[in-house]
């Protein structure tokens, strides 16, 4: 038996963290002034990812009780990162601020993901212990 | 052993009825992707027992059909959001894609998914023996050498994967439009792996049409590789003869 609520939270947060990692890849490319020009296909993929994050962030963060802490920061970051071209044109300070904001959100997600995985492990240990106890007492009852 | 599932779902956060059911199942490892491109890239790198495509009937079956072209032996199931038309059903049947309706009560969906997974578990494990119906060519190395078979497939411009199984182990050779691109045998790769396979005189082989690998470790034509190999065999025989004589 697995805890459905816990599994649901884990799935949502894993998906969200994956999208944030992909966002970081795009940010890195855009903010690296030495990188080759940004192609139309890259812009299209970035817009697709941004659309996914805009749609899902509110739902995922509220499910995980992280809205108060992260929703404002998340929407703020997505509003500043309108396109890869726009990110490339950011000043040095703005670019650093964008990366720092990304890091704050990602670090919090990572921490919560770790906590959820720990809870899953504890749940599984408790379940195994309960099963062992049940097996231990079952033959006695049969004999009686 | 865990069953590995790759799930293609464009909206895994909002369309999660089936995902929640999979979450609750034991001994199931699942990975979720949002696009077919991602799914194919992952399927090329990793091995999965089952590929599940969720979505509207027409789109899901189209995507599953695309995946089938790349992975002929893969078990594919479509979880359909709406009813499929007769033509799409026929297409799915032709491509050996199982269809499961998703627009049903949760309890019924859970039953269908459990049934699907248990049926799948019963029938797995035959592909490695080379009797999968998807293998377009199956045979024994006693009758044909690896070199002969590869020459034949290169001439007919085939794309796919050859698996050679012998007492020494298994090797894989990838063909792309009649050109050998990659070979792997244990830790050996490229020409060294191919040369080892050429030496085998006993064992079995099968060919899986359409399976591709992005890795390229061989860039010379087969004829050159065969000549090199023949030369090495001659040298080996010669040196063996000299040792015997001395």
pLDDT tens readout for residues A103-133: 999 999 999 999 999 998 888 787 777 777 7
Sign of CA dihedral A83, A85, A91, A95: positive
Q: What is the DSSP letter of B177?
A: T
Are A59 and B12 inside 8 Å of each other by CB?
no
Chain A nearest-CA distance from B25, in A, is 8
Which residues of chain A lie closer than 8 angstroms to B13, CB-CB?
Answer: 12, 15, 55-56, 59-60
CB A31 within 8 A of CB A83: no
Contact A12 B13 (CB under 8 A): yes
Q: Which of A9-23, B160-174, B199-213 has maximum average pLDDT? A: A9-23
Helix (H, G, I), strand (E, B), or coil: what is residue A33? coil
Exposed, middle or buried, B7 (CB in 10 Å: 0-12/13-18/19+)?
Answer: buried
Residue A89 vs residue B236, higher pLDDT:
A89
Q: Higher-confidence residue: B100 or B135?
A: B100
Q: What tokens appear for A78 in the block?
A: 């997505």
Helix (H, G, I), strand (E, B) or coil at B171: strand
Interface test with A, best of B7, B8, B13 (most A CBs within 10 A): B13
pLDDT at A63: 94
Lowest-pLDDT range of B120-124, B151-155, B169-173, B180-184: B120-124
| Contact indicator for B15, B21 with CB cutoff of 8 Å | no
Whether ipTM > 0.90 holds is no
């Amino acid at each position: 038996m697995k805890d459905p609520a816990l599994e649901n939270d884990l799935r949502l947060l894993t998906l969200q963290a994956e999208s944030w990692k992909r966002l970081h890849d795009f940010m890195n490319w855009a903010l690296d002034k030495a990188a080759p020009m940004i192609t139309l296909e890259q812009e299209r993929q970035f817009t697709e990812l941004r659309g996914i994050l805009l749609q899902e962030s509110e739902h995922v963060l509220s499910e995980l009780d992280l809205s108060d802490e992260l929703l404002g920061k998340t929407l703020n970051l997505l509003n500043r990162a309108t396109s890869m071209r726009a990110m490339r044109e950011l000043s040095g300070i703005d670019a650093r601020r964008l990366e720092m904001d990304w890091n704050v959100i990602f670090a919090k997600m990572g921490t919560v993901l770790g906590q959820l995985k720990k809870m899953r492990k504890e749940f599984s240990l408790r379940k195994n212990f309960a099963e062992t106890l049940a097996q231990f007492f079952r033959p006695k009852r049969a004999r009686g | 052993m865990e069953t590995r599932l790759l799930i293609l779902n464009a909206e895994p956060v909002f369309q999660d009825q089936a995902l929640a059911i999979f979450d609750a199942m034991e001994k199931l490892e699942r990975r979720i992707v949002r696009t077919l491109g991602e799914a194919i890239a992952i399927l090329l790198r990793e091995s999965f027992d089952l590929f599940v495509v969720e979505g509207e009937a027409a789109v899901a079956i189209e995507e599953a059909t695309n995946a089938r072209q790349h992975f002929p032996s893969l078990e594919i199931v479509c979880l359909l959001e709406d009813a499929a038309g007769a033509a799409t059903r026929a297409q799915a049947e032709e491509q050996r894609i199982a269809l499961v309706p998703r627009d049903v009560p949760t309890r019924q969906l859970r039953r269908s998914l459990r049934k699907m997974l248990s049926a799948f578990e019963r029938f797995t494990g035959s592909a490695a023996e080379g009797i999968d119906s998807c293998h377009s060519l199956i045979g024994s190395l006693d009758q044909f050498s690896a070199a002969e078979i590869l020459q034949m497939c290169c001439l007919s411009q085939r794309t796919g994967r050859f698996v050679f199984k012998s007492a020494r182990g298994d090797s894989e050779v990838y063909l792309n439009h009649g050109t050998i691109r990659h070979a792997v045998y244990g830790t050996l790769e490229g020409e060294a792996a191919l040369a080892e396979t050429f030496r085998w005189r006993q064992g079995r082989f099968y060919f899986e049409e359409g399976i591709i690998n992005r890795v390229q470790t061989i860039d010379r034509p087969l004829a050159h590789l065969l000549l090199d190999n023949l030369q090495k065999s001659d040298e080996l025989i010669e040196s063996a003869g000299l040792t015997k004589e001395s």
